[in-house]
Amino acid sequence: MKLKRLLIISLSFCWLGSSSQVIKEIRPGSLSSITKIWENLNLSSKIHTGLVIYDLNKENWIFGYRDDQFFTPASCTKLLTMYTALRYLDDDITSAYYKVKDDTMMVWGGGDPGTLYPDIHGISPMVEFLKSTDKTIVFSNHHFKTERYGSGWSWDDYPEDYQCERTAFPIYGNRIWIDRFADSIIITPKYFEEITTIKPDTAEEQGRNEWGNSYFYNYDPSLKESHVAVPVSFFENDMRMMWSDATGKIIHFKDIPISGNVEQIKGTARDSLIKWMMYESDNFIAEQLILACAMKQTSEMNETDFIEKVIQGPLMILPDKIDWVDGSGLSRYNMITPRSLVVLLQQLIKQHGLDFVKSMLPAGGKSGTLITDYRGINGQPYVFAKSGTLRHMYCLTGILVTKSGKVLLFSWMNNEIPGRIAPLKQSMEYFFTYLRDNY
């Protein structure tokens, strides 16, 4: 089917609440200038691509191409996680749930990813709380009803910083942090010093074996300093020792169900975690936030059952039944349409305001994962968006502000990209610049 016949546009309705969209084909004689610019890019002959644009001021859909088809969203999945975390978590998320009986304190982890995470500045309330108790501390993992890795993740990414294991008691970002200043090297937590091999080399490289009982760091002495991280492979003793080192307490483990009335230890500020997750596309935080939501709502860390409840509940407002399996977008099993992501943005803006949503998204040419892309004029960003990248995939969903002050919501999804993505990003920037200057 020719491109012209596939281009679609909404007349006057938007998806919000229970309203429905009316879609018609654009006839060849009524092709808009936006359509002509899109047609000239000639992307559809090279990749599986889809784009939809919504005018927030006029409340109508102004352009769509394959916007009802499904794509793997990669880290654009984090928009779903952001929506869910804002809906279900308190302003300060729960680090742990506990119950005191006689001289024993039973503790069930709440999944707080901010606990002693170097990239999240501030105190770690759970660590301070445990330091202050005189009770015997017993951790339970009974409520952790999932796996350390998500469904559809790449098994051989285990040594990569972007694929950390999931736990009920996250600490230090579930990583080893190696900071080098000249020949001075600091490993955090110190517990892993004995099983980490460090040596000079001609290039920087770090990693571990599959089972996590051997780590290495090869450094380039010509560099004055470097800072790297390696995901931890957790065994019960690793968890015990890391928490013992952090709190100065002996930590015991016992498999006990959570029941009855429990107290909560408040943890990291929710919005600071969400912002870091969105700016840096932090997969670890995304996964832990979903587990924290599941625990808050169901008293179990089971992301599969919880996500299905969210899909069948508040996400029924989406126009398409999505496949959503993890918090980060690492899974290739995630599938969503461009129009569903824009409807999700509509809901976020409706519930939290445009300024808040913009503040949570990387700004083109200024911050986060977009710091080198989609630069504005005189340093003023015009694109605020979440990108999603996996091999052969590049997606972008967010907000575009035109010179005339109009606010456009868009989702541009690209799968099955052969070779480098740089030429595609150049085409996208050309298209966005046209929208900024002419709409």
What is the Cα–Cα distance from 160 to 30, expressed in whole angstroms? 50
Angle between helices 78-88 and 283-298 (to 10 degrees): 40
- Tell me what pLDDT residue 44 has: 87
Over residues 378-429, the pLDDT tens digits come to 989 999 999 999 999 999 999 999 999 999 999 999 999 999 999 999 999 9
- Tell me what pLDDT residue 350 has: 98
- Tell me what pLDDT residue 119 has: 85
Q: What is the pTM of this model?
A: 0.91
What is the Cα–Cα distance from 199 to 58, expressed in whole angstroms? 61
- Tell me what pLDDT residue 27 has: 31
- Tell me what pLDDT residue 234 has: 87
- Tell me what pLDDT residue 20 has: 31
Q: Assess contact for 164 and 330: CB atoms under 8 A.
A: no
- Residue indicated by tokens 């911050």: 367
What is the Cα–Cα distance from 273 to 96, expressed in whole angstroms? 16
Over residues 180-218, the pLDDT tens digits come to 998 899 999 998 999 999 999 999 999 999 988 999 999
- Tell me what pLDDT residue 29 has: 28
- Tell me what pLDDT residue 66 has: 96
- Tell me what pLDDT residue 391 has: 95
- Tell me what pLDDT residue 121 has: 75
Domain boundaries, the chain: 3-71+337-403+413-438, 92-269
Question: In sequence order, what are the residues at sequence separation of 6 or more whose Cβ sits closer than 8 angstroms to the Cβ of residue 171?
Answer: 115, 116, 189, 239, 242, 243, 246
- Tell me what pLDDT residue 389 has: 97
Over residues 138-149, the pLDDT tens digits come to 999 999 999 999
The stretches in the chain having pLDDT less than 70 are 1-31
